[in-house]
Amino acid sequence: MPELETCLTRGELLEFCRERSESCISMLLPMAKAGTEVRQNPIQLKNALGEVKRQLVRRDIPIESIPALNAAEGLLGNEAFWRVQEPGLAVFCCGEECRTIALPAVDEPFVTTGNAFYCKPLLQMFSQRHYLVLALAQREARLFESRPGEAFGALADLIAPGSIDDILQYVESERQLQHHSLEAAPTKDRHDSFFHGHGGGGADSDEQRVRLIEYFRAVDEALTPVYERARTNKAPLIVACVDYLFPLFREVCRYPYLWPNRIVPSGAVSTESKLAELAERALVEEAARERSRLRDRIGDAAPRDFASGDPVLVAHAAREGFVESAIVSPSESLWGAVRDESGRPVIALTGDGGDCELTDYIVRMTLLNGGSVVLDEERNDDSIRCAALFRRPVSPEYFGIEEQ
């Protein structure tokens, strides 16, 4: 019986993108999390399975040739599976394998059977990023972690090697720091407070600076095991500290994904939940800036054929590995056809009668060829259905695309 997966690695995402079979089944379902509506959740899956069977019949594919459907049907009576749900559910079936994945959101039920999985919604898993928060003070450093599907919480005490107490005793400004309540509070208490001193203490003297850097090197060294596993997901390390400490820690930090700015303004008092809120806000704001920067780059590059918003051209370019970065709508679909004729690909928009959703095709091809994809979360007139930045000039003539 498949278990509900709440997180996905980039390697697993690429495996989904790589899967090819005539019977790849993708079901995306909105889920209720509370109230009487939760009773509709199994019914959503039952209806989706009915649509899957109708599509397979139309495609002349025997239902019994896909044993994974039996596992999916087995979920209907599995009370434990339905007891905990996120707002969205993805069910993927192919051959004997059935996988279920919790998604942050699904607007409408969506079912498709084809020669590849519908992978675009899985990008949501990476908008809920794996990240680390280092609450850094002169007397103590504490590490917190948030992973998709898991609550934000303390990961471990950081005890740097050597005589840290001796290193810190010199700091005259420590008198100005408020009592760091975490020192005496249990880590399991989600209402612990972190008191950060005022910026006036500073690291004014050379001696203070040298000793602080010595301390931060010890903290950085203690984080080595965390760095080794976190860099796999490119998890950002966000530092919460007073203003004058951050440049010194940044100077010695060896982690390649250190967040460029600190959180928690000087003199602030932050609970654990407040740290999580500030970190999430920083990530959301940076994602919005990333989308804006990509939009601007596409607009600047389009006149030189280094970018395009034509989905057919972008699909061709993605297939050939020419797409550096793509931005697609998470909700809109562009149905088309992708086939080979005389050894060359033919890609076309066909409307609702198509067998390939082109924005999903662009996502899969871009990722498999080492490019990046951003979901356009804007819900207004400026939202983008599909656009891409190319690694080289690309024109319709290059692929033999006739102008419509």
- Close Cβ partners of 400 (under 8 Å, ≥ 6 residues apart): 344
Across-strand partners of 389?
307, 325
How confident is residue 268, by pLDDT bands cut at 50, 70 and 90? Answer: low
Across-strand partners of 76?
none
Closest alpha carbon to 135 in 176, 171, 187? 187
Separation CA 328–CA 384 (nearest Å): 6
Separation CA 195–CA 203 (nearest Å): 18
DSSP class of 199 = T
pLDDT at residue 170 in the model: 42
Separation CA 250–CA 256 (nearest Å): 11
- Tens-place pLDDT, residues 28-57: 999 998 788 888 999 999 999 999 999 999
3-state secondary structure of 94: strand
**Residue spans of beta strands (DSSP E) within 31-106:** 88-94, 97-103
Closest alpha carbon to 290 in 364, 236, 254? 236
Separation CA 75–CA 98 (nearest Å): 11
Whether pLDDT at 326 is above 60? yes
Instruction: Provide φ and ψ at 30, rounded to 5°.
Output: -75, 140
Top-confidence range, 114-123, 198-207, 342-351: 114-123
pLDDT at residue 7 in the model: 81
How confident is residue 141, by pLDDT bands cut at 50, 70 and 90? Answer: confident
Domains in the chain: ranges and CATH: 4-126 (3.30.960), 131-287 (3.30.420), 305-399 (3.30.1330.30)
- pTM of model > 0.85: no
- Mean pLDDT taken over the chain: 84
How confident is residue 8, by pLDDT bands cut at 50, 70 and 90? Answer: confident
pLDDT at residue 72 in the model: 96
DSSP class of 330 = S
Q: Retrieve residue 122's tokens.
A: 């899985």
State mean pLDDT over 69-73. 96
Separation CA 200–CA 176 (nearest Å): 9
Contacts 24+ apart (CB under 8 A), 151-156: 152/272, 152/273, 152/275, 152/276, 152/279, 153/190, 153/272, 154/187, 154/188, 154/272, 155/226, 156/226
- Tens-place pLDDT, residues 56-65: 999 999 999 9
Q: How far is CA 150 from the centre of its chain?
A: 14
- Tens-place pLDDT, residues 167-220: 455 443 443 443 443 344 444 444 444 444 444 455 557 888 888 898 899 899
State mean pLDDT over 152-178. 50
Top-confidence range, 2-16, 243-257, 267-281: 243-257
Whether pLDDT at 150 is above 80? no
- Tens-place pLDDT, residues 87-108: 999 999 999 999 999 998 899 9
Separation CA 220–CA 122 (nearest Å): 33
Would you tell me how many other CB atoms lie within 10 Å of the CB of residue 6?
16
pLDDT at residue 206 in the model: 83
pLDDT at residue 208 in the model: 83
Given the structure tokens 């399975």, which residue do they identify? Answer: 49
pLDDT at residue 200 in the model: 43
Q: How far is CA 160 from the centre of its chain?
A: 31
Separation CA 328–CA 259 (nearest Å): 26
Separation CA 184–CA 349 (nearest Å): 64
Given the structure tokens 């599907």, which residue do they identify? Answer: 149
The residue count of the chain comes to: 404
Distances (CA, A) of 384 to 62, 349, 350: 38, 17, 19
